[in-house]
Amino acid sequence: MKNIVLVGFMGTGKTTVGRALAERLGMEFVELDAEVEEREGMSIKEIFERYGEPYFRDLETEAVKMFSEKEGLVISTGGGVVLRKENMDALRKKGIIICLWADPETILKRTSKNSDRPLLNVPDPLSRIKELLSYRRPFYEQADIMITNDSKDIDEVVKEIMDKLKEKGL
């Protein structure tokens, strides 16, 4: 079976939805950020602080390459994985890409209690979210399926994904 790849900005529910979807479909769940953290022995926040974002993006690309070669996975990606064409090409080869989308206010509400978001550790996180979303939106829109996830519960999102996969014959 093809991989199901969840992309989207931080706080859109990729990990939570991904776990629930994998369980529902009887597939293995992989969270790329967690894989990077495990391999490096430090949090993403620490990687950003110590080595910077470009270094993290290289680690992320290595993880993409490794897991995109497998099949039958639900893969939750980091929010910036879409920024490298090579990542999207690799993930698309054996997967269908689903973007979870939420508005900036929803994202701020969901991420505000977590200080481990290096890109949001700024004086005005809402403005930063809007800026990053605006820049990344064209990359996210390259997904095969877009799901808006502002006010839906996990089961509703999982059902919507399953319905869309069924429509595509997957």
Report pLDDT digits (tens) over 105-161: 999 888 877 666 655 667 688 898 999 999 999 999 999 999 998 888 999 999 999
Q: How confident is the model at residue 98 (pLDDT cuts 50, 70, 90)?
A: very high
Q: How confident is the model at residue 13 (pLDDT cuts 50, 70, 90)?
A: very high
Domain containing 112 equals 3-163
Q: What is the pLDDT of residues 22-65, one digit of tens each?
A: 999 999 999 999 999 999 999 988 998 899 989 999 999 999 99
Question: Does residue 51 lie within any of the structural domains?
Answer: yes
What is the tens place of the pLDDT at every residue in 58-84? 999 999 999 999 999 999 998 899 999
- 42-45's contacts with Cβ under 8 Å and 24+ in sequence apart are 43/116, 44/78, 44/116, 44/118, 45/115, 45/116, 45/117, 45/118
The answer as to whether 58 is a domain residue is yes
Q: Is residue 168 in some structural domain?
A: no
Angle at 140 between CA 163 and CA 43, to 5 degrees: 100
Q: Do the domain assignments include residue 169?
A: no
With respect to residue 170, please indicate whether it lies within any of the assigned structural domains. Answer: no
Q: Residue 146 is part of a domain; what is its CATH number? A: 3.40.50.300
> Within a domain: residue 127?
yes
Total number of domains constituting the chain: 1
